[in-house]
Structure 1
Amino acid sequence: MSGTDPQTKVPVKIVSCPGCGGASVYAASNPYRPFCSERCKQIDLGAWASEQFAVPAAAPPEDFLPE
């Protein structure tokens, strides 16, 4: 999806908000991009801070000795 920013007459891209799935303007006019609002941005930040999101890592072998 796309549209036009009324302030600058520049085409803007509309994406799905990663927080709520709603429409979000992906342009400089949206200070919360790629989120649709400050609320969605803060919820996502809180999830990272409480370690609800994590990058999976393989456990080292039991006989591995760090130097």
Structure 2
Amino acid sequence: MTRLERKCPICGKPRAAEHTPFCSKRCRDRDLLQWLEDGYALPGPPSFPDNPQDD
């Protein structure tokens, strides 16, 4: 697969150079909204313990 054949991770359409790795501003904004609304998560321990007195 060459770089030109890569698809937008949101909708699967061909990527646009000005919005890489997305095809459009709409898909880029949808991805940002997922991050802002905690739709994506990185693996690892919680950053804030539920009860700090347990440490």
- TM above 0.5, one fold? yes
Relative to its length, the structure with more helix (as a share) is 2
Q: Which runs of 5+ in 1 are unaligned?
A: 3-11
The list of structure 1 runs, each at least 4 consecutive aligned residues, that deviate by more than 3 angstroms after superposition, is: none
Q: Which has the larger radius of gyration?
A: 1
**TM-score (ref. length: structure 1):** 0.58
**Residue identity (%):** 35
1:20 aligns with 2:7: no
Task: Look up the match of 1:43.
Answer: 30
Q: Unaligned 5+ residue runs, structure 2?
A: none
TM-score normalised by L of structure 2: 0.69
Structure number with the higher strand fraction is 1
CA RMSD of superposed structures (Å): 2.3
The one-character-per-residue Cα deviations of 1:29-54 (angstroms, maximum 9, x if unpaired) are x2110100000000000000101000
